[in-house]
Structure 1
Amino acid sequence: MDHPSLIADHGLIGDLQTAALVSTDGTIDWFCSPRFDSPSVFAKLLDPGGGHCRVRPVQEPYTSRQFYFPGTAVLITRFMTKLGTGEVIDFMRPVHAPHATPGHRLIRMIRCVRGHIEFSVDVVPRFDYGRRPHTTTVTDDGALFDSGLSALTLHAVREPGDAQLAHIHVIEGGVYGSVALEAGQVRGFMFESDGGEPRSIRVTEIEKVFEDTVRYWRDWLNRSTYRGRWREMVERSAITLKLLTYAPTGAMVAAPTTSLPEQIGGERNWDYRYTWVRDASLAVSSLLAMGFTDEAIAFAQWLRERHLRGDGRLKIMYRVDGSSDLLEESFTHWSGYRGSVPVRIGNSASDQLQLDVYGELLDAVYQADRRGAEVGQEGWKALAGLLDWLAENWDQPEEGIWETREGKADFTYGRLMSWVAFDRGIRLATANGRPCALDSWRHERDRVYEQIWEHGWNPLKQAFVQRYGSDSLDASLLRMADVGFITPSDPCWRATLTGIEKDLVTDSLVYRYDPRVSPDGLRGNEGTFSLCTFGYVTALARAGYLEKARLTFEKMLTYANHVGLYAEEIGPTGEQLGNFPQAFTHLALIDAALTLDSAIGDGAHREAEPPLTARYR
């Protein structure tokens, strides 16, 4: 009997333009093509009829294990039966084209390791989120699935002299078959997303692509400067962030999935297959701290284009190609992950005002500049234009970092990051002698600073609070010391940490906020937010609470799935919730590990310069 895969039962593969999720039972049950934000081809994760590709042993019972080929994004699922052991090796070769490519190749190598084993193969595509029918044509060399607007070709991987695909039959547009292997034999198939006639592919050809893919990921990872205590987890997080990058533009999606719920059966189901300026800026900063500069340069160029084509301000999110049409709609024909509806595509939060994005962007640019990726003339003009807009517009209500649908408010975090934007802009201008409205920026920076202390600090609560005039706490403010607004040893900061621990922390896991105290316009609750938990680690380490920080970090590592990936949240029973894998979580893991390594010392990790907070002490 088939059981729906859990969110955490997956590994991620991709080619830097799109990605796929592969479950521990050998099923690809999420794949969009040709881009992250394109309609799905396989989407069983959201509905039993959403389409899938499954490879698993015919003989039962069997057990399976899944892991990444070391230092790569090549995923291996091993199956053990009484008669033999086999494995499915899934990967996509990274595509570094200057423009989007229509064709994407997803390869599934099937190998028998010991004894003999027979695998069943089901290929059941469902185009356009299961809304568009297709025709299926089977040949001796594979199969063509054609929906008219898009197509998927299955090319058989085999050796000369092999018989045609064994036991193939077609049911409702899906192809079903099997392949029997002896120890040492390799077969499989390759999907190609731009159609074309099926062709037979030699095993040696696929093995060459495998070797090239392994070499790509290891060459990229060798650029990392991280040599700290948690190298395996940090490098896995870096690879995950890279997998979420759209190479033709340098944009990074928040996650490759949509509508994986923050509460099982709830309505907090969102489409994250887009580029949030905030998330991508923070991710770029994390990669920069590990020595990866190319990603920062590419993202900066993409952002410059958004400014040149905009109205002076930034939208909070875009599609990976830079367009901003993210009309939100809900499906009625899909049942959702474990009955969690609605299933949404698009995201209406794209029209919200969120002031913090300017701070995350300017801080990322500042960090890049410190590490040698200097801002060019056109880039500087774009940044200066953004800060001039912010100088006129920061002092107004907004929707805030968490994209609540309760209405606008004076969020302290939005003001905090406005201060960061001005501060980093001033530093860039003075260090590099760039023309700008420096006096205006300084004036606005100081106004924001004074306003936060006057209205963001609640003397009765003895903490900085979520929004002006409230007594509710918010985990986003864990970044206050990290960005240099307040010293980690300041009594007000330590009191805020104490308040957050009291109101939002449960067994080291951190909630974003308490919706009972701070209504967000949505029904139900959510899990603890993994970004915030790792941010709590960073804040504790900065404040000198190293034992608590390290214990919290080590406990958080136990919530990773079997291949080191995290969704957005963790539910009451420890299950992964929300879209998966989540860039926010993995960038925060990197930051926490680097901060802890630096604080603990022993030469585990040293930044090129001391962190900003060190200069405020």
Structure 2
Amino acid sequence: MDQFPPIADHGLIGDLQTAALVATDGTVDWMCLPRFDSPSVFGSLLDRRGGHCRIRPARPYRSTQMYFPDTAILITRFMTDSGTGEVVDFMPPLTDRSPTDNHRLVRMLRCVRGQLSFEFDLMPRFDYGRRPHTTHILPDGAVFHAGDQILTLHAVREPDDARLARLQVVGGGHVHGSITLEAGQVRGIVLESGARTAPRALRVAEVQGLFDDTVRFWHTWLAQSTYRGRWREMVHRSAITLKLMTYAPTGGIVAAPTAGLPEQLGGERNWDYRYTWIRDASFSVYSLLALGFTEEAADFATWLRGRYRAHGGPLKIMYRVDGSWDLREEILDHWEGYRGSRPVRIGNDASGQLQLDIYGEMLDSIYQADRRGLRIGHQGWHDVVDLLDWLTTNWDQPEEGIWETRGGRADYTYGRLMSWVAFDRAVRLSAEHSLPGPVEQWQQQRDQIYEQVWDRGWNPHRRAFVQHYDSDVLDSSLLRMAQVDFVAPQDPMWLSTLDGITDELVTDSLVYRYDPLAAPDGLQGSEGTFSLCTFNYVNSLARAGRLDQARLIFEKMLTYANHVGLYAEEIDLTGEQLGNFPQAFTHLSLIDAAITLDHAMDSARASDPLQFAGLLRS
């Protein structure tokens, strides 16, 4: 590729075991096989020689992109002076939940007006471009061999077609081809991994059947949603995005399907997010439960139980999607990085950190699932009791914290807050279902944490809760204090904290995690505003009764979504999206903020119609 497209110039497709990014110029520039956390086959998003599959018109064009309504099927439309065409990209969902090496990426080509000539280039680069391959052109497609890895190109054509296109192998073992279509014609290609047979010609009707089945899957899944609020399209797009990041065989949910996308262009904050964090996945389950999706919560509970039983003791903060925990970090020195942002890291050394908050997020998701009818089982409860035994003797110690800084451990207020949540939710579950356990001890631990946070987490000079004890640094992770019921949402001390965050960490409604100059994090450079924190800010404002401000910020935040409603991790000063994409954190917090704001606005309308009318005009 000649240049790197903006991070936001992509849509996401997937089959519930892996995913692909498709740019608005028709290029698949990121895809890992056979799983989210496997080595890439297409990686030109991080290196121009990293491999891609590009389909676009042979003449000058302009393009737009959209999702087929209420699905994860992506349509890239091309307009030229000779006609209009579409590339319809999707991956048939793998619903049997068995891990497989066999995945299909369907790329249907349509001419909808006039005449259009498409060109395509298929340039796989296996194992992050480190493994060579051979290329074989056959009558109905092509095969790429890289040791035990196989990628097959199947032609989509009709019997009277001479060939799909004029295929030829060009330098570097990639395939180039072209095809001209008239209005109404549909052709295309199917890329298949792990196939052990020769390429075969697929008929248009067969591929149309795959399209119909994929539409049916997504419509059936989305029909479970109970959300009837004001922002249904954005909330449902976020729900679909979270589902796309779910590894169906185990129920693990990745933080993002990408690695190495920078938090600062040209900087070193480039991390691999293709793993299941206890925190992120618990938040995702919480948000999906709030929309009425219960299957994902049950699957994640099974995944969690497997992680604990695999080695006992404290949980790791993250795992691979299959539950293993070898995430040794390494650097791809041969890759240039997105717009020169190096190093490109795969693996994640933060997996060895101590982050005490994960137990609170896990217990809160279990508690929310219980409230929606998903009762915890006998063995699952005993696992919880064992984990809380560990937390009882370990919560009061320094840790690395939620943001995974690399500047050493501290007594983070957020870690204590979520430890309080862990004990509190266990006490509630025990009381509601008469479950056995050392409840008095849990209550004592819960109350001790409560008093400690109010005593040491509150800084009287700043008139705010602070990032860690004995500091005066504000941290937007604490925006969750009211959401988890630790503090009343209109408590004066909480409102003072909210005001402090507004003054120091908010810029034109966008929220930074913390000030790295005030709280060095062991890394060079800076970062953009953190979109999770912005939506949590909306949530806090709504709970505090500041509805006009909350709604304005929420609506402004929606304008930062990309053209198909997706968000990366951060937003920079120019409004450009930064960090891994799309980000589960951002989409789950959008859902939470929308639900909270809906509820607050409905309550305002019921209690004071005149005030509500003023809110609508603001």
Give the TM-score normalised by the residue count of structure 1: 0.97
Q: Please report the RMSD computed on the Cα atoms of aligned residues, expressed in angstroms.
A: 1.1
Correspondence 1:14 to 2:31: no
Question: 2 CA distance for matches of 1:294 and 1:437?
Answer: 30
Question: 1 CA distance for matches of 2:44 and 2:560?
Answer: 24
- Once the 2 structures are TM-superposed, how far is the Cα of residue 164 of structure 1 from its aligned partner? 2.0
Question: 2 CA distance for matches of 1:604 and 1:376?
Answer: 41
Write out aligned runs for 1:353-368 (5 A).
Answer: 353-368=354-369
2:31–2:40 contact (8 Å) kept in structure 1 = yes
Question: 2 CA distance for matches of 1:541 and 1:466?
Answer: 23
Matched AA of 1:89: V
- Once the 2 structures are TM-superposed, how far is the Cα of residue 44 of structure 1 from its aligned partner? 0.4
Question: 2 CA distance for matches of 1:250 and 1:376?
Answer: 17
- Once the 2 structures are TM-superposed, how far is the Cα of residue 604 of structure 1 from its aligned partner? 10
Write out aligned runs for 1:35-434 (5 A).
Answer: 35-60=35-60, 62-171=61-170, 172-196=172-196, 197-434=198-435
Question: 1 CA distance for matches of 2:153 and 2:209?
Answer: 19
State the partner residue of 2:441. Answer: 440
Question: 1 CA distance for matches of 2:121 and 2:543?
Answer: 51
Question: 1 CA distance for matches of 2:136 and 2:360?
Answer: 53
Say which SS state the counterpart of residue 115 (structure 2) adopts: strand
State the partner residue of 1:451. Answer: 452
Write out aligned runs for 1:25-40 (5 A).
Answer: 25-40=25-40
2:263–2:528 contact (8 Å) kept in structure 1 = yes
Matched AA of 2:29: D
State the partner residue of 2:600. Answer: 599
Say which SS state the counterpart of residue 260 (structure 1) adopts: strand
Unaligned 5+ residue runs, structure 2?
607-618
Question: 1 CA distance for matches of 2:95 and 2:84?
Answer: 35
Matched AA of 1:399: E
Say which SS state the counterpart of residue 270 (structure 1) adopts: strand
Question: 2 CA distance for matches of 1:326 and 1:97?
Answer: 27
Matched AA of 1:339: G
Say which SS state the counterpart of residue 28 (structure 2) adopts: strand
Runs of 4+ in 1 over 3 A off after TM superposition: 602-605
Matched AA of 1:568: E
Question: 2 CA distance for matches of 1:368 and 1:311?
Answer: 23
2:157–2:164 contact (8 Å) kept in structure 1 = no
In the superposition, relative to structure 1, how do residues 399 and 191 fare at CA in structure 2: closer, same or farther (>3 Å)?
Answer: same
1:307–1:314 contact (8 Å) kept in structure 2 = yes
State the partner residue of 2:557. Answer: 556
1:146–1:195 contact (8 Å) kept in structure 2 = no
2:164–2:187 contact (8 Å) kept in structure 1 = no
Deviations 1:250-281 (A, max 9, x none): 00000000000000000000000000000000
Say which SS state the counterpart of residue 353 (structure 1) adopts: coil
Question: 2 CA distance for matches of 1:128 and 1:304?
Answer: 31
Question: 2 CA distance for matches of 1:575 and 1:98?
Answer: 36
- Once the 2 structures are TM-superposed, how far is the Cα of residue 165 of structure 1 from its aligned partner? 3.6
- Once the 2 structures are TM-superposed, how far is the Cα of residue 537 of structure 1 from its aligned partner? 0.1
Out of 146-155 and 160-169, give the one that drifted further.
160-169
- Once the 2 structures are TM-superposed, how far is the Cα of residue 291 of structure 1 from its aligned partner? 0.2
- Once the 2 structures are TM-superposed, how far is the Cα of residue 166 of structure 1 from its aligned partner? 2.7
2:26–2:76 contact (8 Å) kept in structure 1 = yes
State the partner residue of 1:477. Answer: 478
1:388–1:437 contact (8 Å) kept in structure 2 = no
Question: 2 CA distance for matches of 1:15 and 1:244?
Answer: 9
Unaligned 5+ residue runs, structure 1?
606-617
Q: Aligned residues: percent identity?
A: 67
Matched AA of 1:45: L
Matched AA of 2:345: R
Deviations 1:441-475 (A, max 9, x none): 11110110010011000001000000000000000
Question: 1 CA distance for matches of 2:489 and 2:165?
Answer: 66
Question: 2 CA distance for matches of 1:603 and 1:496?
Answer: 24
Matched AA of 1:279: D
1:405–1:521 contact (8 Å) kept in structure 2 = yes
2:464–2:500 contact (8 Å) kept in structure 1 = yes
Say which SS state the counterpart of residue 446 (structure 1) adopts: helix
Deviations 1:332-386 (A, max 9, x none): 1000000000000000000100000000000000000000011011111111111
Question: 1 CA distance for matches of 2:603 and 2:483?
Answer: 22
Matched AA of 2:104: R
Give the TM-score normalised by the residue count of structure 2: 0.97
State the partner residue of 1:610. Answer: none
Matched AA of 2:545: G
- Once the 2 structures are TM-superposed, how far is the Cα of residue 331 of structure 1 from its aligned partner? 1.0
Matched AA of 1:159: E
- Once the 2 structures are TM-superposed, how far is the Cα of residue 99 of structure 1 from its aligned partner? 2.2
Correspondence 1:524 to 2:515: no
2:3–2:48 contact (8 Å) kept in structure 1 = no
Deviations 1:16-39 (A, max 9, x none): 000000000000000000000000
Write out aligned runs for 1:557-596 (5 A).
Answer: 557-596=558-597
Question: 1 CA distance for matches of 2:359 and 2:568?
Answer: 25
1:169–1:175 contact (8 Å) kept in structure 2 = yes
- Once the 2 structures are TM-superposed, how far is the Cα of residue 439 of structure 1 from its aligned partner? 1.2
2:258–2:274 contact (8 Å) kept in structure 1 = yes
